[in-house]
């Protein structure tokens, strides 16, 4: 079974379908792309709606685009089949005002050329039951991320997962480390766990090499506290206010039972401040 066969059975002409295997050069976009494909489809689509001049010429001839992510060497994970409408020429200024483009720029995407084509890609229902599950082999070298889906390409189906692998399960709390700009992009499947977890967290400033210890036991526990930092950058803490929030990293020092009383949480927080010397040499005032 291959992609040519799957598209044909769905009434999509493979000869006019361009297959894209996205593997961004920017580290943060590469890290976030699978999450975007699962939970923020508009931003994911914005990533592929403008292309390099070579791929632009291919896109202008394509009736459909089969979108994949290069999650492993020699393989591609299926996201969706898009209908390709009439493109329009847009400026760098137009892209700077587009919500999807702005979100990508926050992840480190370059501004791009002054003018480029913006493709009118609309997600179809074709093969959507295999969204995030279907993995094909990407034949030959991976230098080119765009190829036509005609029969000679032989995009063989490698595996079909039972569940979508676009969003991975939350890491063990001991190894979970998030940058400040990632707090607003916590996958929904992770939010449930963080909402249940209460505990002692640590904020590390990568510039000053100083740390801050806090506790989370209120509304939504760790999730609620970290979302507050995502909104304000400092969570109401005086010393954090003077720092560049983009340089902060968040981790968990100790996870505690959901029914731990607040008095015990505060005592444990104080113990961690003593052990890590965050009052004398860190960012804690009290």
Select 177-276's CATH number: 3.40.50.300, 3.40.190.10, 3.40.1440.10, 3.30.70.260. 3.40.1440.10
Could you give the C-alpha distances from 9 to 5, 160, 201, 235, in angstroms and in order?
6, 17, 52, 54
Can you give the pTM of this predicted structure?
0.78
| pLDDT tens per residue, range 20-37 | 999 998 888 988 899 899
**Span 228-238, pLDDT tens digits:** 999 999 888 88
- What pLDDT sits at residue 256? 92
Residues of each domain in the chain carrying CATH 3.40.1440.10: 177-276
pLDDT digits (tens, 9 = 90+) for 182-222: 898 888 889 989 999 999 999 999 999 999 999 998 789 99
**pLDDT reading at 164 higher than 80:** yes
SS3 24: coil
Q: What Cα–Cα distance (Å) separates residue 68 from each residue in 30, 55, 180?
A: 13, 15, 28
What pLDDT is attached to residue 113? 79
Question: How large a percentage of the chain has pLDDT more than 90?
Answer: 72
């Amino acid at each position: 079974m291959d992609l040519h066969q799957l598209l044909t059975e769905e009434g999509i002409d493979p000869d006019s379908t361009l297959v894209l295997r996205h593997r961004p050069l920017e580290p943060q976009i590469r890290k976030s792309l699978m999450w975007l494909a699962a939970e923020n489809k508009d931003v994911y689509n914005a990533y592929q709606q403008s292309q390099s001049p070579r791929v632009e010429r291919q896109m202008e001839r394509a009736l459909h685009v089969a979108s994949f992510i290069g999650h492993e060497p020699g393989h591609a994970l299926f996201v969706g089949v898009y209908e390709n409408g009439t493109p329009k020429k847009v400026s760098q200024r137009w892209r700077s005002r587009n919500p999807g483009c702005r979100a990508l720029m926050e992840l480190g995407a370059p501004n791009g050329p002054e003018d480029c084509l913006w493709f009118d890609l609309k997600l179809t229902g074709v093969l959507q039951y295999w969204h995030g599950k279907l993995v094909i082999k990407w034949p030959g070298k991976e230098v080119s991320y765009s190829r036509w889906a005609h029969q000679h390409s032989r995009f063989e189906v490698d595996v079909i997962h039972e569940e979508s692998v676009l969003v991975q399960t939350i890491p063990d709390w001991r190894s979970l480390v998030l940058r400040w700009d990632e707090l607003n992009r916590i996958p929904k499947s992770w939010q449930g766990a963080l909402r249940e977890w209460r505990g002692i967290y640590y904020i590390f400033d990568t510039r000053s090499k100083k740390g801050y210890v806090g506790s989370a036991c209120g509304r939504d526990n760790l999730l609620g506290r970290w979302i507050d930092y995502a909104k304000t950058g400092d969570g109401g803490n005086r010393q954090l206010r003077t720092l560049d929030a983009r340089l902060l990293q968040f981790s968990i020092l100790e996870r505690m039972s959901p029914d731990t009383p607040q008095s015990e949480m505060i005592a444990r927080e104080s113990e961690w401040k003593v052990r890590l010397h965050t009052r004398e040499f860190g960012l804690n005032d009290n």
